[in-house]
Amino acid sequence: MEANNSGKGFKRRLTDPDWCSIPSSSNTSENGYLDEQLSYSHHEIKPCTSEWTRGTLQNLSITPILDEIHSPYELIDMAFSESYLMLLDPKIDERVSQCRERIMCRSPLQRIDIDDIEKLNKNVSYNLLFEIGEGMNYMKVNEWDVAPTWNVIDIIEDRLFHVYGESFTERLIDIFIILKSGDKNVSEHRYQALFQSFIGALGLSTFGDPDVIGREILIGDVQVNSVPNIVFPCFGHSDESMKIMAVCKVKKNFNGHEEFSSAAKRRRVQTVNHLDDNLIGQHGGELLTHFKMSQNLHGLLGFVVQKTWVTFTYLRFTKKQYEKIVSGDESSKESCPEIYYSRPYNYLSIGDRNEILGPLLKLGFIQSTPISNH
């Protein structure tokens, strides 16, 4: 069940570390997926994660948890412990709260409230989008007196975040023009750019396709390649290698409009039904292949973007579990890694957007912290 606050009371689903020890044989269900106790052959693993399915993850004993949903704050709490965040910045939650309140009260972004982007031309005018972009372009979070304790001179351009609202609304205007022409085929790249400009307005830095470099890992004797649409980098580690905070998969279709058409319906959602088996497998493969680049030793955060709907994800993982998977060691008694999901949030809808402002701002503060403070 989704919670509205942080996940301090989150309970682990699995108490028996041997629950998913891989048996010598397994049964196949009618839908073609292997049953709960699974063995696998490396020859069943496709060399590109874009070809993976939920069944691929199950064959690797990675369990997508689809019968419950978690709030974005719960997933962030899984990724970053309270003690870690206290060392990072003891006042991080206070700063996030201050930023969120100021955005909700003062940002022109709050004039955008769109349930379905394909009906954009019926909800908002070109002139309104232009006015919003101009207004957002002059807002800078550091001017709101919520700067962190470290010296802001160390931050690029002497500020923690820069609100790139003009870029966000320019992207919206671009989509507005396409939809107004009667063309409903907005490309995935446009949805990717729109999402990047939205989270950029909240302080998050990203690399997007085609600037993302593919990652390769060896699973048994299969060389697996993966290229997510977006990565969230963390620079400056002492080993001079780039670490990442999250990866993101972007799709131009979303089939859950009816299920999530109202706030009341969204609150009743308790399971993950908006991601199909292919998308679950593809995103899970990206999380797996990029795990060793994670700044967090116990997993990797992720996002799935479908049009303007964003789902937060988290792969709970350990180095030993990773080694078990890539080696195919069926004698290992390591517990199975799991992937957790939030419900989807439409960042163009004011209600959903206000719910994810805090989590995204918090990730922005975490990402922007100088390495010396880590």
**Alpha-carbon dihedral 207, 209, 212, 214, rounded to 10 degrees:** 150
How much of the chain, in percent, has pLDDT values that exceed 70? 74
Give residue-wise pLDDT tens across range 167-197: 888 898 899 888 888 887 899 999 999 999 9
pLDDT band at 235 (very low <50, low <70, confident <90, very high): low
Residues 6+ apart with CB under 8 A from 259: 265, 269, 273, 274
For Cα atoms 223, 225, 229, give the angle at the middle one, nearest 5 degrees. Answer: 170
pLDDT band at 340 (very low <50, low <70, confident <90, very high): very high
- If one compares 180 and 245, the residue with the highest pLDDT of the two is 245
Contact indicator for 302, 287 with CB cutoff of 8 Å: yes
Q: Does the pLDDT of residue 330 top 80, yes or no?
A: no
Q: Is 70 helix (H, G, I), strand (E, B) or coil?
A: coil
Highest mean pLDDT among 121-125, 355-359, 362-366: 355-359
For Cα atoms 69, 72, 73, give the angle at the middle one, nearest 5 degrees. Answer: 115
Q: Does the pLDDT of residue 20 top 70, yes or no?
A: no
Give residue-wise pLDDT tens across range 66-109: 999 999 999 999 998 887 787 777 888 888 888 888 778 877 77
Beta strands in 175-214 (DSSP E): 207-208
Q: Does the pLDDT of residue 312 top 90, yes or no?
A: yes
Q: Is 166 helix (H, G, I), strand (E, B) or coil?
A: helix
Across the chain, mean pLDDT equals 78
Give residue-wise pLDDT tens across range 119-128: 776 667 777 7
Structure tokens at 195: 């999402």
Q: Does the pLDDT of residue 6 top 60, yes or no?
A: no
Q: Residue 25: is it exposed, middle or buried by C-beta count within 10 angstroms (0-12/13-18/19+)? A: exposed
- If one compares 297 and 357, the residue with the highest pLDDT of the two is 357
pLDDT band at 152 (very low <50, low <70, confident <90, very high): very low
pLDDT band at 137 (very low <50, low <70, confident <90, very high): low
pLDDT for 94: 85
Structure tokens at 29: 């269900």
Beta strands in 185-334 (DSSP E): 207-208, 215-219, 222-226, 230-234, 243-251, 299-306, 309-316
- Considering all CA atoms of the chain, what is the largest pairwise distance in Å, rounded to the nearest integer? 65
pLDDT for 161: 41
pLDDT for 370: 57
Pairing between strand 230-234 and 243-251?
Answer: antiparallel
Distance, in Å, from the CA atom of 131 to the CA atom of 59, rounded to the nearest integer, reads 51
Tell me the whole-structure pTM to 2 decimals.
0.82
pLDDT for 91: 82
Q: Does the pLDDT of residue 158 top 60, yes or no?
A: no
Of 28-37, 88-97, 162-171, 246-255, which range is least confident? 28-37
Residues 6+ apart with CB under 8 A from 337: 61, 62, 63, 299, 315, 316, 317, 318, 321, 322, 325
Half-sphere exposure of residue 231: CA atoms within 13 angstroms, side-chain side: 25
